[in-house]
Chain A
Amino acid sequence: MSTRLSNGGRLVNKAKPVEFQFNGKRMKGYEGDTLASALLANDQMLVGRSFKYHRPRGIVASGGEEPNALVNLGQGGKFEPNQRVTTTELFDGLYATSQNHWPSLEFDVGAINTHFARFLPAGFYYKMFMFPRPFWKHVYEPFIRQSAGLGKAPKERDSDTYEHFYHFTDVLVIGGGIAGLAAALEAAQSGLKVTIFEQTHHWGGRAVVDGAEIDGKPADDWVKDTVQTLEGMENVTIRARTMGAGVYDHGYVLGYERLTDHCPDQDGPRHRLWRIRATQIITATGAIERPLSFAGNDIPGVMLAAALRDYVVNWGVSIGDRTVVVTNNDDAYRTAIALVDAGLSVPAIIDARTDGAGPLADAARAKGIRVEMGKGIAKVKGGKRVEGVAICLQAGEGAVIEEIKCDAVAMSGGWSPVVHLWSHCGGKLIWDEAQAMFRPDPSRAPTGDKGQPFVAAAGTANGNLRTAAVLEDAVAQAKAAVKAAGGKPKAGKAPAGSDAEEGAISPVWLMPQGAPIQLRMKSWLDFQNDVKVSDVQLAAREGFESVEHAKRYTTLGMATDQGKLSNINGLAILSDALDQAIPQTGTTTFRPPYTPISMGAIGGEARDELFQPIRKTPMHGWHEANGADFEPVGHWRRPYAFVRSGESVHDAVMREVKNTRRNLGLLDASTLGKLIVKGPDAGKFLDMMYTNMMSTLKPGKCRYGLMCNENGFLIDDGVVARIDEDTFLCHTTTGGAERIHAWMEDWLQCEWWDWKVYVTNATEQFAQVAVVGPNARKVLEKLGGMDVSKESIAFMEWKDGQIGGFNARVYRISFSGELSYEIAVPASQGRAFWDALLAAGEEFGVMPYGTECLHIMRAEKGFIMIGDETDGTVIPQDLNMEWAISKKKEDYLGKRAQERSYMASPDRWKLVGLETLDGSVIPDGAYAPAPGDNANGQRNVQGRVTSTYFSPTLGRGIAMGLVHKGPDRMGDVIEFTKGDGTFVKAKIVDQVFYDKDGEKQNV
C-alpha cells in the first residue's frame, strides 16, 4: 500500500494538517501536498477508470503530464471536471470525486469492455457503427453517449471571477527550474525587462529532487538564493503558479496564473490570463519521462520512475514497500537509491540494456540492490493494484524467467524534452539518435515580424540532461536573447553544475522486443485514451501511415493530456511498423495551450454587462421605464414592444399595430444608420454603390436604394436623401451603419482613390422618431413651426426647419404604409423631442410602438427586410425589384454578377405573398416540399417562408416567401411544413396585403 513516510517531504509542512474529501471519504493531508500526494498518502491508488475499457487507473506521474488522475473538483458554482490531481494543490475542505465510472469507482460495469478488447480495436467506432445506418442515430449513438466521456459539464454558473492582464517584456523565461532561473538571472543582469514563470508553486524543477550541486552548494540552496536575488531586482517580474500556455505570432504569449486555486476562500480573481508581448522568449520547460511499453503497464502502482522519486523526496509518500525499477537509462537508478535511502525495499532493477550503465548503477549495487541487465518485464501481475512482475529477456519473446513480488513498479523509458512552446509558432525539431529524443533545431526557430528568431530553448528542454550542460546552455541562450532584444549581456560565466556521470540510453519501444500479440494487447501507449501497441500496429497495417492519421484513427495522444506521455512511444511503434526511421514519421502538431486552461480565464472580465458594450438611443431611459421588451439588434437594444400591465407581449404588439393604423404611433428610429456622403463625385460614387441612379436625385428629394456586393447579392437597403448638390445622407439598416461605412471606405480608398468623396458616420449625432398614422400630420401641426402639408412636403421629400421649437429635419418616408414623417433632431434633444411628441399626441391617441409592430406593418405592405427576405444569396431580381435597378447605368457593384447565367436563370426562387387557406400563421422558415427526391435521397423543395406574421389588420396569418417561379404561379396552392410532420396549405398571392395602391401613405 502507499503511505506517508515518517521522514522526508521537503514540500510538506507536517505542522499544518489539512482535511479533504474524496468520493465522500474524509482524508488527511498536509499543507504543501498536491491532491495526488495526499491521495497516495491515504492509500488511494485507484483514482479513475479508463476511457474505453473502464480499466482501473492510478496516478502515473507527478506533474502536468498526468494522463489518468482526473477528478471532478468542487461543488455547485465551483464545480470543475477533468482536474489533474497532480497539479491541484491541497487546501482545507477540498472536495473531489472520481469520474468516468458507473456505478462506482471500485465496481464499474463498463469494465466488462476490457474482456471484449479484442473486439474493440483501433478504429472500432468507424468500422462497427456504419451499418445499418438508422442504428447509428437510435441505438449506437445514445449508448455511446451514455458510456463515454470523461468529466461532466458543470450545471451551475461559475461563481468565480477571472481577469486578463497585459504585459510587455524584453525577455520572457518560461520554466522555473535551474535552467530558467540561470537564464533569467543572466538576462536580468543586463538591465533589460525580464519575466520568469514557473507553473508549480515551487522552484528548481528536477535538480532539487535529484540532488545536483551548483557552484559547490546543494541545488536547493542555489535555487533559494537565485529566486531571492530575482525577487529583489526591479527589472524582473517573477511568478510561480503561472504557466506559459501558448506561444503565438510575433512574440505573443499567453500566461496562465492560478491565483486562488490553492486558497479558494481568498478574495480576488481565481485565474489571471497574461497577454504578453515578449521580444525574446526562452523556453526552459524541462523534459517529461517516457513510460515503457510492457504488458500491464497501466495497472495502478506502475508509475514513472521520477514521479515515484518525487513523491518520496518532495512529499514523503511511498507508493509501495517493494518497488521494482525497470529502465533503459541511468536516471531511474536514482529512484532505486532514493527509495532505499528512505528505508524502502527495491527487490530488483530491471535494465533492458545489456551493458553501459554508469556510476549510478555501481552506487545502487553498493547499496545491495540487485541489478538485472538485458532483462525486461514480461507482464505485470495484479488487477486494481500491482502484485508482482514476471521477468524475461528483453531480446526475447517474453518467456518468464522469474516472478518477483512487489507492490509498485517504477518505469523509465528515457526523457523527452518539452518542446511544445518551441513548436507552437513553427519551431522545428531534430531527432537526437544518441539520446533517443526530439529536440529543438536551433537553425529553424519561430520567426518574428522582421524574420528574426524569437524563441530559444534552454537546458533540458534543449536536449541537455546533465546539470553542468544545462546551466551552460541556459546562460548562453540568455546572453543571445539579451543581444537579440537589443541589450548588452554582462560578462561572466555560467554557474558550475555537477552531478553523477550517466551511461548512454538504449531506446526501448517494446518490452520484450519480440512481444507476441497477447502481450502487445496489454501494452498501453496512451493511458487516457486506451491505445495499446497493437492498436497503432493495426492502424499502420490498415494504411493510416501519416502520424496525424494514425492519431485520429487510434485516438493516440488526444484529449486532455494531448499525448504528453504517449506520443514518442506511439510514433516509434508506428515507425517500426512502417519500417522507417522515427524522424521520417515525425510528430503530430503541438498546439496551445500546453495543458488545459479554464474557460473562465479565456473569457476574463468579459461577462455580464462587460461582455459587450450596449448601444442605447437617447430615448432608451423612457423605453426602460415604460415596459419595453428589448431585443438586440446589432449592438443596439430596441424595444420589441411596449408591454402594459395585464398584457402579454403578443397583446401589446397587436394593440400597437391597430393603434398606429387607426390613430398615431411613435417609433424610436434613432438606430437607423446615417452616413453622410459628400464631395464633387458623391453622386457618381453612389451610382456605383446603389443599384438605383442616385446622381439624378434632386436636392430636397428622397429615394429608396438597394446595395449589392460584387457577387450581386443584396447587402443593405435604405432611403437616400440629397441634401445639396455635393451632399447625400444615406440611411442604412440598424445593424449596417458601420459595415456599410467600411464598405464605402474600401471602394473609395482602394479602387476609386482619385474620386473626390468623403464619407462620415453620423448615426449617433441624431435622434430620429417616426411619427406614423392618420393623425401624424395633426400632432406635428399642433407642435407647430413647419408647414407639413402635402403641398409643402410631399411623399419622398425632406425639409429642414423647426418642429415645436426643436431644430428638425423631416423626411416624408414610410415603412408602414401610413402617413408618416421621420424626424431627426440633434441627439441631445432626442428625449425632449420624444416627450414633446407624447404630450402633444395624447389627444390624438399616441402610442409608441416597437420593432415587431414595425415588422408586421411592413409585411402587410409587402416591404422587404434585409436579413429576412435576404440571406446573402438573394439578388434584387429575386425580390421582383427590377424597378430599383437602373437600366441606364453602365456599371454598379453587383451588375456584372447579376448577368451570370445562374443569376439570370428563370428557375430561381422569387418573392411572393402567401395566404394560408385556414388563416393560420405558417411557422418561420418553413419549407415547401416538392414531388420527388434529390440526388442525396432528400425530399425536393420548391420554396421557403421568409417573413410570417399574424396580421391584426387583416385578422389572419400573412407571409412572404421565395418560391420556385413564384410570380408565374399566382393562385396556386402549395404546402409548407409545420415542423411537427404536418403541413399547411397556402395560396400564392401578391406580396402586398394592405393598401395595394399606396393611397394611405400619400395623403
Chain B
Amino acid sequence: MLILECPCCGVKSEETEFHAGGEAHLKRFGPGSTDAEFEGYLFMRENKRGVHFERWRHVNGCGKWFLAARDTNTLEFFGFYPAQTHEPPQDIKDKISAKHPGWSWREFQ
C-alpha cells in the first residue's frame, strides 16, 4: 500500500485515502478527430515499467484530483503536482532525470 502526499491539502497518507485514475497528461479528442486520434485517446497508454505519470484523487480527503510521477518498478514517487497542468513541473523532471537519464513521456521529456 503506497503512501501519497496530496499537493492540494498537504496531507500525507495511505493509499486507501486515495483513488487511482490511470495515466496522466492524456489529450482529449472529440468530434472532428480522426479514428486514429480517437483510438489513441481512448485506448493507447504508455504503460511504462519505470517512469510513469498518473492521476490520483484524494477521494477520502479534500476531494481534489492531482498528478504524480512514480517509478512503477521501484515504487518511488518523484513528486506530486496539481492536475491543472499539461506537463510536470521542472523540479520533478530534474529529479527523474537524475535517476533515469533519457526518460521520455509522449510529447515531453
List chain A positions with a Cβ less than 8 A from chain B. 248-252, 277, 426, 447-451, 710-711, 742, 745-746, 749-751, 753, 890-891, 895-897, 899-900
Q: Report the 7 A-B pairs with minimum CB-CB distance, sorted nearest first.
A: A451-B76, A252-B1, A447-B74, A753-B84, A749-B65, A250-B3, A891-B30
**A745 contacts B65, CB within 8 Å?**
yes
From A449, A451, A895, contact of B30 by CB (8 A): A895
Please, how many angstroms separate the alpha-carbon atoms of A891 and B75 in the complex?
A: 38
Please, how many angstroms separate the alpha-carbon atoms of A968 and B16 in the complex?
A: 50
Query: Given A250-B75, A451-B71, A745-B65 in contact, is the A751-B3 Cβ separation under 8 Å?
Result: no
**A249 contacts B2, CB within 8 Å?**
yes
From A250, A277, A447, A895, contact of B31 by CB (8 A): A895
Interface size class of B (residues with CB under 8 A): 20 to 34
Query: Given A249-B2, A900-B38 in contact, is the A449-B21 Cβ separation under 8 Å?
Result: no
Least CB distance, B67 to chain A, in whole angstroms: 9
User: Of all chain A residues, which has the CB nearest B74?
Assistant: A447
**B76 contacts A450, CB within 8 Å?**
yes
17-66 of chain B: CB within 8 A of chain A: 21, 28-33, 35, 38, 41-42, 55, 57, 59, 63-65
Q: B63: which A residues are within 8 A, CB to CB?
A: 745
User: Of all chain B residues, which has the CB nearest A894?
Assistant: B30
Please, how many angstroms separate the alpha-carbon atoms of A899 and B33 in the complex?
A: 11
Q: B6: which A residues are within 8 A, CB to CB?
A: none
Query: Given A250-B2, A891-B30, A899-B31 in contact, is the A447-B65 Cβ separation under 8 Å?
Result: no
Least CB distance, A754 to chain B, in whole angstroms: 9
Least CB distance, A420 to chain B, in whole angstroms: 19
**B83 contacts A750, CB within 8 Å?**
yes
Q: A753: which B residues are within 8 A, CB to CB?
A: 83-84
User: Of all chain B residues, which has the CB nearest A425?
Assistant: B75
**B28 contacts A447, CB within 8 Å?**
no
Least CB distance, A109 to chain B, in whole angstroms: 48
Q: B59: which A residues are within 8 A, CB to CB?
A: 742
Please, how many angstroms separate the alpha-carbon atoms of A752 and B64 in the complex?
A: 14
Please, how many angstroms separate the alpha-carbon atoms of A251 and B71 in the complex?
A: 16
**B65 contacts A900, CB within 8 Å?**
no
Q: A249: which B residues are within 8 A, CB to CB?
A: 1-3, 15, 75
Please, how many angstroms separate the alpha-carbon atoms of A82 and B59 in the complex?
A: 40
**B64 contacts A447, CB within 8 Å?**
no
Please, how many angstroms separate the alpha-carbon atoms of A449 and B59 in the complex?
A: 20
Q: B64: which A residues are within 8 A, CB to CB?
A: 749
**B65 contacts A250, CB within 8 Å?**
no
From B29, B33, B38, B76, contact of A449 by CB (8 A): B76
**A450 contacts B74, CB within 8 Å?**
no
Q: B28: which A residues are within 8 A, CB to CB?
A: 751
User: Of all chain A residues, which has the CB nearest B33?
Assistant: A896
Please, how many angstroms separate the alpha-carbon atoms of A749 and B30 in the complex?
A: 18
**A449 contacts B3, CB within 8 Å?**
yes
Q: Decide if B77 is an interface residue (CB 8 Å cutoff).
A: yes
Please, how many angstroms separate the alpha-carbon atoms of A751 and B15 in the complex?
A: 24
Q: B32: which A residues are within 8 A, CB to CB?
A: 896
Please, how many angstroms separate the alpha-carbon atoms of A252 and B84 in the complex?
A: 31
**A449 contacts B2, CB within 8 Å?**
yes
Q: B84: which A residues are within 8 A, CB to CB?
A: 749-750, 753
Least CB distance, B83 to chain A, in whole angstroms: 5
**B35 contacts A900, CB within 8 Å?**
yes
**B42 contacts A897, CB within 8 Å?**
yes
**B83 contacts A449, CB within 8 Å?**
no
**B77 contacts A450, CB within 8 Å?**
yes
**B99 contacts A750, CB within 8 Å?**
no
Q: B29: which A residues are within 8 A, CB to CB?
A: 896
**A711 contacts B83, CB within 8 Å?**
no
Q: A746: which B residues are within 8 A, CB to CB?
A: 21, 57, 65
Please, how many angstroms separate the alpha-carbon atoms of A251 and B1 in the complex?
A: 8
Please, how many angstroms separate the alpha-carbon atoms of A277 and B32 in the complex?
A: 50
Q: A250: which B residues are within 8 A, CB to CB?
A: 1-3, 75
From B14, B31, B57, contact of A896 by CB (8 A): B31
Q: B21: which A residues are within 8 A, CB to CB?
A: 746
Question: Which of A426, A449, A750, A895 has the most chain B CB within a 10 Å cutoff?
Answer: A750
29 A-B pairs with CB atoms under 8 Å apart are A249-B1, A249-B15, A250-B1, A251-B3, A252-B1, A252-B14, A447-B74, A448-B3, A448-B75, A449-B75, A449-B76, A449-B77, A450-B76, A451-B74, A451-B76, A711-B42, A745-B57, A745-B65, A746-B21, A749-B83, A750-B55, A750-B83, A753-B83, A891-B30, A895-B31, A896-B29, A896-B31, A896-B32, A900-B35
Q: A899: which B residues are within 8 A, CB to CB?
A: 31
Q: B14: which A residues are within 8 A, CB to CB?
A: 252, 277
Please, how many angstroms separate the alpha-carbon atoms of A886 and B108 in the complex?
A: 37
Please, how many angstroms separate the alpha-carbon atoms of A896 and B39 in the complex?
A: 10
Given contacts A448-B76, A749-B83, list 18 more A-B pairs with CB under 8 A: A249-B1, A250-B2, A277-B14, A426-B75, A447-B74, A447-B76, A448-B75, A449-B3, A710-B41, A711-B42, A742-B57, A746-B65, A750-B65, A751-B28, A753-B84, A896-B29, A897-B38, A900-B38
Least CB distance, B97 to chain A, in whole angstroms: 14
Q: A449: which B residues are within 8 A, CB to CB?
A: 2-3, 75-77
Please, how many angstroms separate the alpha-carbon atoms of A742 and B57 in the complex?
A: 10
Query: Given A426-B74, A753-B83 in contact, is the A890-B31 Cβ separation under 8 Å?
Result: yes
Q: B75: which A residues are within 8 A, CB to CB?
A: 249-250, 426, 447-449
Q: B41: which A residues are within 8 A, CB to CB?
A: 710
Q: B99: which A residues are within 8 A, CB to CB?
A: 451
Please, how many angstroms separate the alpha-carbon atoms of A474 and B77 in the complex?
A: 30
Please, how many angstroms separate the alpha-carbon atoms of A749 and B57 in the complex?
A: 10
Please, how many angstroms separate the alpha-carbon atoms of A188 and B60 in the complex?
A: 35
Please, how many angstroms separate the alpha-carbon atoms of A363 and B86 in the complex?
A: 74
**A896 contacts B83, CB within 8 Å?**
no
Least CB distance, A208 to chain B, in whole angstroms: 36
Please, how many angstroms separate the alpha-carbon atoms of A792 and B42 in the complex?
A: 47
Q: B77: which A residues are within 8 A, CB to CB?
A: 449-450
Query: Given A249-B1, A449-B75 in contact, is the A710-B42 Cβ separation under 8 Å?
Result: yes
**A248 contacts B57, CB within 8 Å?**
no
User: Of all chain A residues, which has the CB nearest B75?
Assistant: A249
Least CB distance, B4 to chain A, in whole angstroms: 8
Please, how many angstroms separate the alpha-carbon atoms of A249 and B84 in the complex?
A: 28
Please, how many angstroms separate the alpha-carbon atoms of A449 and B76 in the complex?
A: 5
Question: Which of B3, B21, B29 has the most chain A CB within a 10 Å cutoff?
Answer: B3
**B74 contacts A896, CB within 8 Å?**
no
Please, how many angstroms separate the alpha-carbon atoms of A449 and B13 in the complex?
A: 12
Q: B3: which A residues are within 8 A, CB to CB?
A: 249-251, 277, 448-449
Q: A711: which B residues are within 8 A, CB to CB?
A: 42
Q: B30: which A residues are within 8 A, CB to CB?
A: 891, 895-896
User: Of all chain A residues, which has the CB nearest B99?
Assistant: A451
Least CB distance, B89 to chain A, in whole angstroms: 16
Least CB distance, B74 to chain A, in whole angstroms: 4
Q: A895: which B residues are within 8 A, CB to CB?
A: 30-31
Q: A897: which B residues are within 8 A, CB to CB?
A: 38, 42
Please, how many angstroms separate the alpha-carbon atoms of A711 and B43 in the complex?
A: 10
Q: A890: which B residues are within 8 A, CB to CB?
A: 31
